[in-house]
Amino acid sequence: MNGITRGIRNAFRNVTRTTALVLILGLSLGLALAMLVANQAVSDKIASVKSSVGNTVSISPAGARGFDGGGTALTETQLAKVDALAHVKSVSESLSDRLTTDDTNLQSAVEAGDLGQRFSQRSGQGFSIEGGGPMGGPSNSSSDTGAPTVARTFTPPVTVNGTTDPTNLSSGTQGGGTFTLKDGKVFAGDSTENVALIGSTLAEKNNLSVGSTFTAYGTTVTVVGIFDAGNTFSNNQVIMPLATVQKLSDQVGSITSATATVDSVENVSSTTTAVKSALGSAADVTNDAEKAEEAIKPLQNIQSIALYSLIGAVAAGAIIIFMTMIMIVRERRREIGVIKAIGASNVKVAGQFMAEAVTLTTLAAVIGIVIGVAAANPITKMLVDNSTSSATSQTMGGPGGRAVRGAFGGVQSSVTNITASVGWDIILYGFGAAILIAIIGSGIASLFIAKISPAEVMRVE
Amino acid sequence: MIEVIDLKRNFKSGDTTVHAVNGISFSVPDGQFASIVGQSGSGKSTLLTLLGALDKPTSGSIVVDGQDVTKMHDHKLIGYRGRKIGFVFQNYNLVPNLTALENVMLPMEFAHMPRARRKARAAELLEQVGLSADQQDRKPGKLSGGQQQRVAIARALANKPKLILADEPTGNLDSKTGKMIFDLLHDLAKTENTTIITVTHDLSISGKTDVTFTLHDGALVKT
Ligand SMILES: Nc1ncnc2c1ncn2[C@@H]1O[C@H](COP(=O)(O)OP(=O)(O)OP(=O)(O)O)[C@@H](O)[C@H]1O
Ligand SMILES: [Mg+2]
């Protein structure tokens, strides 16, 4: 029996009060922990959004965006100027092209569908058009109308992307997604060989595997790897070294899209301006940073809401335990006087009360951790959904080019896709906060304890 | 030997000053049983709190074994109270959520007595004051007033004090139980050579003590 065990026992002297206190305190700690988790999840997300899209500048020929619009290709000489700019870490370049049935034996893995039919009939662009006889006639819905339409069957073309950064799918005419190598290897960015990475669906359609060959631009190209981008558009393309495509397609020195990586997010907007003035009217220069900033803004609001709630909940907990300790000290005035009269020091008495407070808050911490763990994800989701839904409709409203849409659409969906993970650190923080507020609460109470005179015991109530 | 010299304790409340203890001098030799009597408000309890170092006098000194208690530092006073003094109160003042045994062990813990010896000594003392083993494990709420006061006496004796101070120890008890408690204290004073100073209203008790001091308005009345 010592002060600590007495303190622990005293915590259960009034079971009703202890239960009520532990529940209330547990609730406030649980809220604090949930807010802490939300805050962490949101900061992690902000950091990853910033680092993934925040520091690049997209450059494309003026008036061109992928295969939409027109324009004149950029040159390597122009892009060398960009690479020379301060803050530009690297420039990845690509040249997009379409293979026609004349220069490849590859068949697209994507069916035309309603959209493809409509585009081909309205634009009349130089898509690969096959004469469709009755035998090979289309079996799609547009011909079911029975109208004597000219049988023009459109097959989506196979895109080829010559690039210096083969694993980056967010530029040019690529469909975005995350590059995952399924088989084989990735060629070097500065390769000049006749090699290619083939999207998984395109490979399947054409029975290609690592080591197989196919024909492009009338030249035999060897498949060195198969990749999966997680989306059908990206998986229907051929990725080849930039130099190879430039050479085979007779466009040496031409670039249809480039991405400059800036050393830090802070320098993106100044670098965008610098790139614009370096390239003049030849190029359209955009960056995702500004739009990412806007996507992040609601997250930052959530972060501060979570932080204030966290502080508020911890403060509420500290006040609750402090008030309770004051109440208990008042209640046990005489008892404190007695044990002082029979030889206990102030420190000894205060230690006993501290043990009592720590017992109460530790119990509350257990409940708080259970509540916090259970509530962390729903609370984070609720906060994020509520405050990003309005922002999403705003920022997604305007028509964006595909490159921007691809990258930025990814940002938007990933902003709302937050999972709060509860780790051991949260449990440690929970107990840490519990012990901290116990020490603060009983520390202040001990000032009152010190004031109680042992002479009080002589008073008969 | 306990010697009190011109002891004063004033209480200020607003403009008026109450001279609760107003220049008291007396001495009690070791092992004597002294009683203090006097009307309500005459300063008996106040004198006892000063003797027990629970409160500081306005002036004067209390010399116990050649040491002036009134000049001791606060942290030394804690030890003095715990080891040299035993208190017995009118309303027992046991710690309600500790058993009789644990209550008696409490002052031994504060005096840093080895843990192993505390329990044995506490049980021995409780037996001495007449509590059965079953009663020793009960909390105060489940003991009668007389039994609680016996526990309080055992607690007061825990650290073998030089001086036991009792403030109306029989005040809440019927006269028969009161007499038993009083006899218990009396026997202890003789066998343990402990000095006992008790405040009482009961003149039949005060008549049996070695010496009786009568207080009136904070001062001793010559008898
Ligand atoms: N803390 C205090 N503050 C102010 N006045 C006090 C205080 N303690 C005692 N007094 C006053 O000192 C005087 C003596 O009080 P004390 O309690 O010593 O009397 P007592 O002889 O023990 O009386 P009783 O027999 O009723 O217990 C009383 O007038 C009382 O009001
Ligand atoms: Mg009194």
Q: What is the DSSP string of A292-322?
A: HHHHHHHHHHHHHHHHHHHHHHHHHHHHHHH
What digits encode the pLDDT tens for the residues B123-140?
A: 999 998 999 999 999 999
Report the C-alpha gap between B195 and B182 in whole angstroms.
14
Indicate whether A139 pLDDT > 50. no
pLDDT value for A398:
33
Distance B76 CA to ligand 2 centre (A): 26
Last residue of a domain, one of A254, A270, A287: A287
**Through-space distance between the first and last CA atoms of chain A, rounded to whole angstroms:** 29
Indicate whether A291 pLDDT > 80. no
Atom of ligand 1 nearest to the CA of B218: 14
Neighbours of A259 (CB within 10 A): 25
**Segment A28-44 mean pLDDT:** 88
Distance B58 CA to ligand 1 centre (A): 15
Q: Which residues contact A102 (CB under 8 A, 6 or more apart)?
A: none
Low-confidence winner among A66-80, A164-178, A397-411, B5-19 (lowest mean pLDDT): A397-411
Q: What is Dmax (Cα atoms) for chain B?
A: 54
Q: Between B98 and A65, whose confidence is greater?
A: B98
What digits encode the pLDDT tens for the residues A437-446?
A: 899 888 888 9
pLDDT value for B23:
95
Candidate of B22, B46, B217 to mutate for ligand 1, largest count of ligand atoms within 8 Å of Cβ: B46
Confidence category of residue A65, pLDDT binned at 50, 70, 90: low
pLDDT value for A422:
74
Collapsed DSSP state (helix, strand, coil) of residue B70: helix
Q: Are residues A283 and A315 in the same domain?
A: no
Look at B55 and A455 and tell me if their CB atoms are within 8 Å. Answer: yes
> ipTM score of the complex?
0.94
Disruptive mutation site among B11, B44, B48, B49 for chain A (greatest number of A CBs within 10 Å)? B49
Q: Which residue of B has its CA nearest to A3?
A: B109
Domain enclosing residue A148, as ranges: 114-133+140-155
Name which residue sits closest to atom 16 of ligand 1, judged by CA. B43
Q: How many residues does chain B have?
A: 223
Atom of ligand 1 nearest to the CA of A460: 27
Check: CB of residue A419 under 8 Å from CB of residue A377.
yes
Indicate whether A391 pLDDT > 90. no
Distance B209 CA to ligand 2 centre (A): 19
Look at B87 and A335 and tell me if their CB atoms are within 8 Å. Answer: no
Look at B45 and A458 and tell me if their CB atoms are within 8 Å. Answer: yes
Q: Which one-letter amino acid corresponds to residue A211?
A: G
Q: Are residues A232 and A334 in the same domain?
A: no
Q: How many CA atoms does the CB half-sphere of A91 hold within 13 Å?
A: 25
The CATH superfamily of B2-222 is P-loop containing nucleotide triphosphate hydrolases (3.40.50.300)
**Segment A419-423 mean pLDDT:** 74
Name which residue sits closest to atom 7 of ligand 1, judged by CA. B11
Last residue of a domain, one of A270, A287, A304: A287
Indicate whether A452 pLDDT > 80. yes
Q: Are residues A421 and A363 in the same domain?
A: yes
Report the C-alpha gap between A348 and B184 in whole angstroms.
32
Q: Are residues A177 and A45 in the same domain?
A: no
> Can you tell me which residue has the tokens 């949101």?
A42
Task: Decide whether any atom of ligand 1 lies within 6 Å of the B216 Cβ.
Answer: no
Q: Are residues A273 and A230 in the same domain?
A: yes
Report the C-alpha gap between A253 and A243 in whole angstroms.
8
Tokens of A8: 């622990």
Specify the long-range contacts of residues A346-349, CB closer than 8 Å, at least 24 apart: A346/A446, A346/A449, A346/A450, A348/A3, A348/B110, A349/A3, A349/A446, A349/A449
| Single pTM value for the model | 0.68
Report the C-alpha gap between A84 and A240 in whole angstroms.
25
Starting from the CA of residue B37, give the closest ligand. 1
Task: Decide whether any atom of ligand 1 lies within 6 Å of the B38 Cβ.
Answer: yes
Look at B90 and A460 and tell me if their CB atoms are within 8 Å. Answer: yes
Q: Which one-letter amino acid corresponds to residue B86?
A: G
Burial A173-204 (b: 16+ CB within 10 A, else e): bbbbbebeeebbebbebebeebbbbbbbbbbe
- Which H helix or E strand runs over B89? none
pLDDT value for A43:
86
**Segment B72-92 mean pLDDT:** 92
Last residue of a domain, one of A257, A287, A317: A287
Q: Which one-letter amino acid corresponds to residue A3?
A: G
**A15/B contact by beta carbon, under 8 A:** no
pLDDT value for A414:
58
pLDDT value for B86:
94
Indicate whether A144 pLDDT > 60. no
Collapsed DSSP state (helix, strand, coil) of residue B42: coil
Check: CB of residue A94 under 8 Å from CB of residue A74.
no
Q: Are residues A448 and A301 in the same domain?
A: yes
Report the C-alpha gap between A127 and A115 in whole angstroms.
14
Task: Decide whether any atom of ligand 1 lies within 6 Å of the B54 Cβ.
Answer: no
Q: Are residues A351 and A368 in the same domain?
A: yes
Task: Decide whether any atom of ligand 1 lies within 6 Å of the B49 Cβ.
Answer: no
pLDDT value for A66:
65
Report the C-alpha gap between A37 and A426 in whole angstroms.
7
The count of structural domains within chain A is: 3
Residue A311 Cα, gap to closest chain B Cα (Å): 37
Task: Decide whether any atom of ligand 1 lies within 6 Å of the B219 Cβ.
Answer: no
Name which residue sits closest to atom 2 of ligand 1, judged by CA. B11
